[in-house]
Amino acid sequence: MPQLPIRRLEAPDTGLLLMSWAAIAFAITRKHGDYTLTAVIFVVVALVLAFAACATRLRVSRRLALTVCALLVADAAIQAGPANHGHGTWYLLSRICAYPAAACVLATLRWRRMFIPALTLLAATALLRILATPTPPIDVHFLLTDSTRGLVHGLNMYQQSWPGSHGLQDEYPYLPWTSVLLLPAWLLTHEVRVGLLVAIVVAAVTLRRLARRSSIDGRSPRNEAVSRAFLPLLVASYPLFAFQLQQSWSEPLLVALLAVMVLAVERGRMRLAVFTFALALASKQHIVLLLPLAAFWPSFGWRRTVWSSAIGFVLVLPWLIASPKDMWDDAVLLNLHYPVLQRGLDVPSFFDRHGVVLGFGVTVVVVGLAYAVAFLRLPRNAAGFAAGSGLVQLALDVFNKQSFFNHYTLVMGLFAIAVVASNRARPRSATSGEAGERGVLVDAAV
């Protein structure tokens, strides 16, 4: 039986990953992450670009990709979000602050020391937007606020209800540590969205620290070194960034935890990496999709993946013991039984609008293809883990029953992690003795 060599890429193409990031960023600004035909086309384009970055040797100019991303960062200063989601003096100040924030982000492409002023102004823009909207008209804010406040009084979020909510009123569709991680912010400020803002700041600072270690020999060309100050800010400067925090969407927690996990692995702090991954698993259900990729990453490995899974299970065990049926109904069955929504930013919504039901089998096939690319083509390092995780999550989002603005921001965060980590993964040279790291052999029937 002959063997067919399948060579791994030395690194996913950062230019294509950045172009995929840009396509997603453009899509979620159309109707603020709800369905439009243009937005659906662009998320599909983003998926194609991500597959190309992870599976092929196609290359896109990094300078071109950075230019496109910079244009979208500039557009972020203009994109305000729905007018009814903010008003008054605080809202006006947030709109004014957005312009110098975007200017400072763009300035990092030339001056690395602008990173701190840029991140500070981005955080100020988001904080002002939060102050402008004490009670945003979205169910997520009620769920997270009341469930986090309920923890102080010993209440179980799976047995609470949210009578003031504009959507879900008797269900808590997340895993419990989404609320637990926001408890310190609630205790200090009585505002869970401050916790989400802190998470984004942590993610950006973490990626900046990872970027400083991204050159193998400690040196890099000036344009590449400067871009390493711009790239970490991609987790905080995409269009409608302040709008996401204003709405209380919890993906910033996941981006921060996964960024810390990657940096911890790169620095050899494996206990921290195991624990942060466990926290991510205990916060959102779909992080379980990253388990095979974490196990496949030699620096993390299957033993640490098992440990993270076990710790994550222990973290949610109190709620599972207290109300197994309520937790199963809210955290599992509710998500599985969601119908296709025609306002969703995904392919099934497009087909549903034309009277065609796109079965879940299509989703399984596309996600399975994403796994295959991650296992067979991507390098087994931090960049490969982050790029593969983003590819799998993007495949799920594009072909899921209900995908919106917030779901895609996790993908954008993972691609930012991958691009920052890819410089560190770039090999000095390839020799025949490195074949085991660069490629695998698979059996092929004659």
With vertex at residue 207, the alpha carbon angle to CA 284 and CA 234, rounded to the nearest 5 degrees, is: 80
Q: State the Cα–Cα distance between residues 108 and 230, nearest whole angstrom.
A: 5
- Asked if 236 contacts 200 with a C-beta cutoff of 8 angstroms, the reply is yes
DSSP, collapsed to helix, strand or coil, labels residue 132 as helix
- pLDDT tens digits, residue range 150-160? 999 999 999 99
The 3 state secondary structure assigned to 153-206 is CCCCHHHCCCCCCCCCCCCCCCCCHHHHHHHHHHHHHCCHHHHHHHHHHHHHHH
Out of 60-64, 213-217, 413-417, which region has the weakest mean confidence (pLDDT)?
213-217
* Dihedral class, residue 165 (left if φ above 0, else alpha if ψ from -120 to 50, else beta): beta
**What percent of the chain is modeled with pLDDT above 70?**
88
Looking at the predicted structure, is the pLDDT value of residue 374 above 50? yes
Q: What confidence tier does 268 reach under pLDDT thresholds 50, 70, 90?
A: very high
- Asked if 177 contacts 308 with a C-beta cutoff of 8 angstroms, the reply is no
CB contact set of 422 (below 8 Å; sequence gap of 6+): 11, 12, 14, 17, 214, 383, 387
Looking at the predicted structure, is the pLDDT value of residue 176 above 70? yes
The 3 state secondary structure assigned to 290-335 is HHHHHHHCCCCHHHHHHHHHHHHHHHHHHHHHHCHHHHHHHHHHHH
Q: What confidence tier does 4 reach under pLDDT thresholds 50, 70, 90?
A: very low
- pLDDT value at position 232? 95
Looking at the predicted structure, is the pLDDT value of residue 443 above 50? no
Looking at the predicted structure, is the pLDDT value of residue 81 above 90? no
Average pLDDT, the chain: 87
Out of 140-154, 179-193, 432-446, which region has the weakest mean confidence (pLDDT)?
432-446
CB contact set of 319 (below 8 Å; sequence gap of 6+): 156, 157, 158, 176, 327
Q: State the Cα–Cα distance between residues 32 and 47, nearest whole angstrom.
A: 19
Q: What confidence tier does 166 reach under pLDDT thresholds 50, 70, 90?
A: confident
CB contact set of 254 (below 8 Å; sequence gap of 6+): 280, 283, 284, 287, 410, 413
- pLDDT value at position 346? 94
Nearest to 411 by CA among 234, 199, 274: 234
Amino acid present at 33 = G
Higher pLDDT, 86 or 83: 86
- pLDDT tens digits, residue range 45-65? 999 999 999 999 999 998 999
Looking at the predicted structure, is the pLDDT value of residue 115 above 60? yes
Amino acid present at 361 = G
Looking at the predicted structure, is the pLDDT value of residue 218 above 80? no
State pTM to two decimals: 0.91
Phi first, then psi: what are they for 378, rounded to 5°?
Answer: -80, 150
- pLDDT value at position 155? 93
- pLDDT value at position 239? 87
Amino acid present at 397 = D
- Asked if 124 contacts 102 with a C-beta cutoff of 8 angstroms, the reply is no
CB contact set of 255 (below 8 Å; sequence gap of 6+): 199, 200, 203, 235, 409, 410, 413, 414, 417
